[in-house]
């Protein structure tokens, strides 16, 4: 990409905020509240940037790393964040989140997103209860069937929990573009509130069928791997930011990548993971300021693919 000579289209032409509504989440300490999107099934507003925990929060008993995670979670809530996502698959991430939440006095703004991940249907309830105990929450806001594992058995359990008031939302997940056909079948046939999938500047397969289907069916979308586990940012770091990045108030490639993912009209939020407060603050800054419109989104994807 030639950063020196990008065309500079008018800001009004390319920047759209229409899809995002403004709402101030509980506990927000930043000057401007983050942009939010509504969960279609309830109308509840969620900040467009959440917090993932794959790898970054799997720190075991490492006291120094645990303390660092507490700082990250504190900064997340201070910036108006709400959704934290984890899974039993993520090693010690669940106890780390629980530790951080306890240290912070269980912030009221928390939107807890967890997963059930077992091929043994009978193990589902015990695993969910173990996860809940790790987090220290009375109930989860969202439970998802992780990577569609035994979804035929697990989904009825989650729907039953929701009906009984022991859960607010139900979802399914996939990552890295796997099993999209099966995800589509579930989205068409099951009354789910959320779907979680991989979507970023380079991995755009979801645009073909899943994202339009989510809009059509009123299913909220959580985007995982917005940075391809950091590989995308390492690749982009070799290049200067293009001119249009400034028009989006982006000072880092991470913000460009997040604004791209979150600006798709079907996307509710993205969940980048980090173990550093500075990166967390960069990520949360992407939830503020203008978002690209469809034309600029196309240009962003085209230019990044050409790098």
Partner 1 sequence: MRRCASAWRARWLRCDGAAVSEWWTYTPADFLMFAPRIYWRLFETLNRQTWPAALLAPAAGVAWLLWVARDAARPGAGAARLAAVALALAWAAVALGFLLPLLAPIHWLAAYVAPAFGLQAALLVALAAFGGLQATASPRRRQAGLALLVYALLLHPLWPLLEGRPWTQAEAFGLAPDPTALATLGMLLLCRATTASGRVLGRVAWAVPLAWCALSAATLWTMGSAQGWALAAGALLALAAGSRRGL
Binding site for partner 1 (CB under 8 A): 54-56, 58-62, 64-65, 88-92, 117-121, 123, 127, 130, 149-150, 153, 176-179, 229, 275
Contact 210, 183 (CB under 8 A): yes
- CA-to-CA distance for 249 and 225, rounded, in angstroms? 22
Q: How far is the CB of 179 from partner 1 (least distance, A)?
A: 6
Q: How far is the CB of 118 from partner 1 (least distance, A)?
A: 5
- Our CB check for partner 1 shows the closer of 263 and 274 to be 274
Q: How far is the CB of 192 from partner 1 (least distance, A)?
A: 19
Q: How far is the CB of 225 from partner 1 (least distance, A)?
A: 11
Q: Looking at the DSSP assignment, which residues form a beta bridge with residue 274?
A: none
How far apart are the two ends of the chain, measured CA to CA in Å? 6
269 burial level (CB within 10 Å; 0-12, 13-18, 19+):
buried
- Our CB check for partner 1 shows the closer of 119 and 218 to be 119
- CA-to-CA distance for 19 and 34, rounded, in angstroms? 13
Q: How far is the CB of 276 from partner 1 (least distance, A)?
A: 11
Sign of the alpha-carbon torsion through 193, 69, 23, 242: negative
- CA-to-CA distance for 162 and 139, rounded, in angstroms? 11
- Our CB check for partner 1 shows the closer of 176 and 216 to be 176
- Our CB check for partner 1 shows the closer of 273 and 304 to be 273
Q: How far is the CB of 153 from partner 1 (least distance, A)?
A: 6
- Our CB check for partner 1 shows the closer of 82 and 115 to be 115
Return the SS3 of 3: coil
Other beta carbons within 10 Å of 77 = 23
- Our CB check for partner 1 shows the closer of 41 and 153 to be 153
């Amino acid at each position: 990409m030639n950063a020196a000579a990008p065309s500079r289209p008018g800001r009004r032409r390319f920047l759209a905020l229409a899809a995002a509504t403004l709402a101030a989440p509980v506990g927000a300490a930043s000057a401007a509240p983050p942009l939010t999107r509504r969960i279609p099934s309830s109308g509840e507003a969620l900040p467009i940037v959440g917090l993932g925990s794959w790898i970054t929060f799997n720190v075991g008993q490492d006291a120094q790393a645990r303390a660092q995670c507490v700082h990250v979670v504190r900064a997340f809530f201070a910036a108006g964040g709400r959704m934290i996502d984890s899974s039993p698959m993520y090693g010690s991430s669940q106890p780390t989140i629980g530790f951080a939440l306890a240290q912070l006095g269980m912030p009221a703004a928390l939107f807890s997103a967890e997963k059930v991940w077992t091929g043994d249907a009978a193990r589902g309830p015990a695993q969910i209860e173990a996860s809940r105990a790790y987090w220290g929450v009375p109930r989860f806001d969202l439970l998802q069937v992780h990577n569609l594992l035994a979804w035929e058995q697990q989904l009825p359990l989650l729907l039953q929990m929701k009906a009984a008031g022991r859960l607010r939302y139900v979802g399914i997940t996939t990552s890295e573009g796997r099993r999209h056909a099966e995800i589509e079948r579930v989205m068409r046939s099951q009354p789910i509130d959320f779907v979680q999938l991989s979507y970023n500047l380079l991995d755009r397969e979801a645009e073909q069928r899943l994202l339009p289907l989510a809009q059509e069916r009123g299913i909220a979308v959580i985007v995982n791997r917005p940075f391809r586990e950091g590989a995308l940012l390492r690749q982009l770091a070799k290049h200067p930011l293009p001119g249009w990045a400034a028009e989006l108030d982006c000072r880092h490639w991470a913000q460009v990548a997040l604004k791209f993912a979150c600006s798709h009209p079907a996307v509710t939020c993205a969940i980048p993971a980090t173990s550093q407060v500075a990166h967390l603050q960069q990520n949360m800054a992407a939830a503020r300021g203008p978002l690209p419109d469809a034309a600029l989104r196309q240009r962003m994807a085209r230019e990044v693919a050409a790098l």
